[in-house]
């Protein structure tokens, strides 16, 4: 039997960063659905939360899973569910891209706290500022084109 523990912090936003997830109740329903769907697909989604225009996930990849596969399964199915149920009145999509970085076991508790406290965090800092900070922290540059 193979043993794998690869923790990933994944962030994805709504299409064009539109604030579709504009209430705590709506976010709770969407994130609960994503968590339930992950369980059905054998994706270990430790925690999920976000704000008006994005979601943060802490995922432990299985031995046959890729980050891309987990993102696609989570975002694609949840978009279909959101549109089918009509819980958001306009057509909903997640952005095609996502952000992901590996996480050390020693940082899991602080990351979980960060994910669970997104609402308070974003009263102080916008998602754009947050992404800019991540880009600087990890030495990534956006490709302009």
Decide: helix, strand or coil at residue 6. Answer: strand
- What is d(CA 46, CA 44) in angstroms, rounded to the nearest whole number? 6
Position 1 in a domain: no
pLDDT at 71: 95
CATH of the domain at 36: 3.30.70.1290
Domain, as residue range, for 89: 6-137
Burial class from Cβ neighbours inside 10 Å (0-12, 13-18, 19+) for residue 43 reads buried
Q: What is the pTM of this model?
A: 0.85
The predicted pLDDT at position 138 comes to: 67
68 falls in which pLDDT band (50, 70, 90)?
very high
What are the tens digits of pLDDT across the range 103-134? Answer: 999 999 999 999 999 988 777 777 667 777 66
Residue 145 resides in a domain = no
Domains in the chain, number: 1
**87 assigned to some structural domain:** yes
pLDDT digits (tens, 9 = 90+) for 13-43: 999 999 999 999 999 999 999 999 999 999 9
Which two three-digit tokens encode residue 7? 């923790």
- Angle in degrees, CA 98, 133, 65, rounded to 5: 30
Confidence label for 142 from pLDDT (cuts 50, 70 and 90):
low
- Structure confidence by residue, pLDDT tens digits, 73-101: 999 999 999 999 999 999 999 999 998 99
27 inside domain: yes
Per-residue pLDDT, 108: 97
């Amino acid at each position: 039997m193979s043993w794998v523990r690869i923790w990933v912090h994944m962030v994805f936003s709504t299409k064009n960063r539109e604030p579709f997830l504009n209430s705590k109740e709506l976010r709770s329903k969407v994130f609960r659905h994503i968590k339930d769907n992950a369980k059905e697909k054998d994706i270990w989604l430790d925690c999920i939360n976000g704000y008006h225009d994005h979601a943060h996930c802490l995922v432990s990849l299985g031995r046959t899973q890729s980050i891309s596969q987990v993102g696609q399964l989570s975002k694609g199915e949840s978009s279909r569910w959101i549109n089918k149920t009509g819980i958001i009145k306009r057509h909903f999509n997640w952005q095609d891209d996502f952000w992901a970085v590996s996480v050390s076991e020693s940082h899991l508790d602080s990351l979980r706290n960060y994910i669970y406290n997104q609402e308070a965090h974003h009263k102080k800092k916008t998602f754009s500022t947050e992404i800019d900070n991540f880009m600087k922290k990890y030495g990534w540059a956006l490709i302009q084109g």
